[in-house]
């Protein structure tokens, strides 16, 4: 199997052309005709994950956050440090950003919703005509403390607690999930009538906005909430007969 074969299979599932994205989705570093026996998966294409992938002998590294955002004016500095080892080792890089947030089955939000037993799902997190999150109903109502505990058990937070803004009702039934930097969608969560918003990181204004909206917000960390999508892509690759490895580099952020 070649790099282009795997990329085509992922593109067919993720439909990257449907998303308006600051990131370049797809193969960011060649070779397209490279033979693939080993595929490494990571959230971030950082120097640490690139070096680990190459040390493991990966022919392809698949990530959520790649190295090309809005194009590259020059391959110098940090970009050079990340790209050069891939080129030297003949290891390709495939990235899926918003398409991997919004996919209704493989996406970060959908996979986290699976872990939280969320049913009756609908799209959430409108972005340029598409959605990058989900909302739905907990199988059983829960409390803020119990939801935070569940998230801490499910997420690779680097031993950091899940931050909770407990401004919703005592029993939480309806939830919106938008991983990573999803706090800007609080107003949509309020308009949807949910009790809770689960995301990765927040901004200073979020405290008062959540309090005024009467919505409980749970901040599990940008990295921690976005391991799910690449792990789902890893499972697919395993079905295609290649050897896979997940490279864990939690940031506690």
pLDDT by residue (tens digit) across 93-134? 999 999 999 999 999 999 999 999 999 999 999 999 999 999
pLDDT above 90 for 22 = yes
Mean pLDDT of 244-252: 96
Per-residue pLDDT of 160-177, as tens digits, reads: 899 999 999 999 999 999
Residue 103 known to bind ligand: no
Confirm whether 3-96 and 101-222 share one CATH topology.
yes
pLDDT of residue 115: 98
Three-state DSSP at 39 gives strand
pLDDT of residue 72: 85
Mean pLDDT of the residues in the chain: 97
**How far lies 239's CA from each of 14, 50, 111, 119, 234, in Å?**
17, 24, 18, 26, 9
pLDDT of residue 71: 83
Three-state DSSP at 69 gives strand
Class of domain 101-222: alpha beta
> Domain coordinates of the chain in residue numbers?
3-96, 101-222
The pLDDT > 70 percentage for the chain reads 100
Mean pLDDT of 146-150: 98
Grade residue 16 by pLDDT with cuts at 50, 70 and 90.
very high
Class of domain 3-96: alpha beta
pLDDT of residue 125: 98
**Radius of gyration of the CA atoms of the chain, in A:** 18
- Asked whether 73 and 87 are in contact (CB, 8 A), the reply is no
Grade residue 158 by pLDDT with cuts at 50, 70 and 90.
confident
Grade residue 73 by pLDDT with cuts at 50, 70 and 90.
confident
pLDDT of residue 70: 85
Residue 131 known to bind ligand: no
Mean pLDDT of 129-152: 98
What is the number of other CB atoms lying within 10 angstroms of the CB of residue 235? Answer: 11
The pLDDT > 90 percentage for the chain reads 96
pLDDT of residue 63: 98
Burial of 121 (0-12, 13-18, 19+ CB in 10 A): middle
| Contact partners, residue 239, CB within 8 Å, separation at least 6 | none
Mean pLDDT of 171-189: 98
Residue 222 known to bind ligand: yes
Three-state DSSP at 86 gives helix
């Amino acid at each position: 199997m070649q790099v282009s074969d795997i990329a085509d299979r992922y593109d067919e599932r993720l439909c990257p052309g449907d998303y308006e994205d600051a990131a370049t989705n797809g193969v960011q570093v060649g070779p397209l005709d490279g033979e693939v026996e080993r595929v490494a998966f990571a959230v971030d294409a950082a120097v640490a994950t690139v070096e680990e992938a190459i040390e493991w002998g990966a022919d392809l590294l698949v990530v959520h956050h790649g190295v090309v955002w809005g194009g590259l004016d020059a391959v110098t500095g940090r970009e050079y440090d990340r790209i050069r080892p891939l080129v030297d080792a003949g290891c390709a890089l495939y990235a899926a950003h918003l398409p991997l947030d919004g996919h209704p089955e493989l996406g970060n939000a959908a996979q986290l919703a699976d872990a939280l037993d969320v049913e009756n799902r609908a799209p959430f997190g409108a972005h340029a005509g598409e959605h990058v999150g989900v909302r739905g109903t907990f199988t059983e109502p829960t409390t803020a403390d119990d939801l935070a505990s569940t998230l801490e058990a499910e997420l690779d937070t680097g031993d950091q607690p899940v931050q909770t803004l407990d401004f919703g009702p005592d029993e939480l039934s309806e939830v919106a999930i938008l991983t990573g930097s999803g706090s800007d969608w609080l107003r949509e969560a309020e308009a949807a009538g949910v009790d809770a918003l689960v995301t990765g990181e927040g901004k200073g204004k979020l405290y008062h906005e959540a309090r005024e909206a009467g919505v409980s917000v749970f901040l599990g960390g940008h990295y921690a909430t976005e391991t799910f999508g690449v792990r789902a892509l890893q499972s697919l690759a395993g079905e295609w007969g290649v050897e896979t490895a997940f490279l864990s580099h939690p940031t506690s952020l």
